[in-house]
């Protein structure tokens, strides 16, 4: 996938567990896990905003573009 989700990196920088983040952004552990592992196909802006607020970061800290190699 060309978009890489760096949620695990930001969580480690903020020393925040998946359980703690789940409570702060009101998302299930399974949905956060899908985001964290990069298996998500889409993300709502409201979810992205909640993650940025909880992790005190910018969207660019969580999402990164990597060109696909063919």
Q: Where are the domains of the chain?
A: 3-65
pLDDT tens by residue, 10-61: 999 999 999 999 999 999 999 999 999 989 999 999 999 999 999 999 999 9
Q: Which residues contact 16 (CB under 8 A, 6 or more apart)?
A: 54, 55
So what's the architecture of 3-65 in CATH? Answer: Orthogonal Bundle (1.10)
What is the predicted pLDDT for the residue at 42?
Answer: 93
**Confidence bin at 2 (pLDDT 50/70/90):** confident
**Angstrom distances, CA of residue 31 to CA of 19, 67, 70:** 12, 25, 30
Model confidence at 64, in pLDDT bands (50, 70, 90)? Answer: very high
Three-state DSSP class for residue 26 = coil
Tokens standing for residue 62: 């969580």
């Amino acid at each position: 996938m060309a978009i890489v989700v760096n949620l695990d990196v930001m969580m480690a920088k903020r020393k925040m567990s998946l359980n703690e983040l789940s409570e702060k952004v009101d998302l299930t552990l399974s949905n956060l896990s899908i985001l964290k592992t990069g298996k998500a196909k889409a993300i709502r802006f409201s979810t992205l905003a909640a993650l940025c607020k909880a992790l005190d970061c910018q969207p660019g800290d969580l999402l990164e573009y990597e060109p696909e190699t063919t």
